[in-house]
Amino acid sequence: MGSGHARVDDIYGTWSGPIKQLCLTFGGAPVQSFTKRNIMSAILENKVCLVTGAGRGIGRAIAIALAQAGGHVAINYNRSEAEANAVKTFIEGAGGKATLYQGNVSDSFNIRGVVEKISGDLGPIAVLINNAGITRDKSFLKMTKEQWDEVIDVNLSSTFDVTQAALPGMLDAGWGRIVNISSIVGLKGNFGQTNYSASKGGLISFTKSLAIETARKGVTVNAVAPGFIETDMTRDIPQKVIDYVNSLTPAGRMGTAEEVASAVAFLASPAASYITGQVISVNGGLYM
């Protein structure tokens, strides 16, 4: 090994079946290296994957990861059409499949119609990622009812609507994956975020309860709770706050959207069939 790099077969050659495939998938081909035909291409082959809020940040990275895994990704967006189209272009340019679907997740009638259209256009949704989320931060006594309702509607109530519309197709197929994007704030709380914390904590409780209902029907339901991740949502945090958070984080840095997407892609894969009702924290050890 003059190059200093072991060949894949030297590392995984004595392993077989799903274990070898899983190691190759999530150890050998990171999201950043999306190419036309890589080792992940068959994991979600021909499965329809809906990602809400997929135009930017974590949603964008998840959409790319699921396309990289072979899924046909339905990219949901509300106002960020240009960003969503850029995600679609990126995926298709790398040989993946993606279709745009505009829809307001906080409008129950509208978003249920979007789910119905996706199923009519592409087939039943097999993988659902409830990712859409917003913040409207204020200390509790200064928070308006409108700010409370807006966050609960987008972050939590939308998950009820989208999941209830998509779940029957999964149950009919006897296979499905639902991953809800929660937050470290849903686990530990945070100053000025009672609305956001309530919505993300609610997602965790929703996840655990629905997982019990669907476990014997081939549908797993899990949550991913990111910590401080480099996205548009955290871009306005003052540098001194970021430095302080990083000092408290064992990993010593903020996470990336791609690191969150890798956890989601695993939970969406056939390899995660015995994992349900769980909350996977992607936070660099900040909260354990």
* Residues annotated as catalytic (active site), given as ranges: 196
CB within 8 Å of 162: residues ≥ 6 apart: 50, 52, 105, 111, 112, 115, 128, 130
DSSP for 160-204, please give it: HHHHHHHHHHHHHHT-EEEEEE--HHHHH--TT-HHHHHHHHHHH
Distance, in Å, from the CA atom of 69 to the CA atom of 39, rounded to the nearest integer, reads: 8
- Distances, alpha carbon 210 to alpha carbons 239, 264, 276, in Å: 39, 18, 10
Are the C-beta atoms of residues 156 and 202 closer than 8 Å to each other?
yes
Axis crossing angle, helix 158-173 with helix 194-214, rounded to the nearest 10: 20
The residues facing 279 across adjacent strands are 223
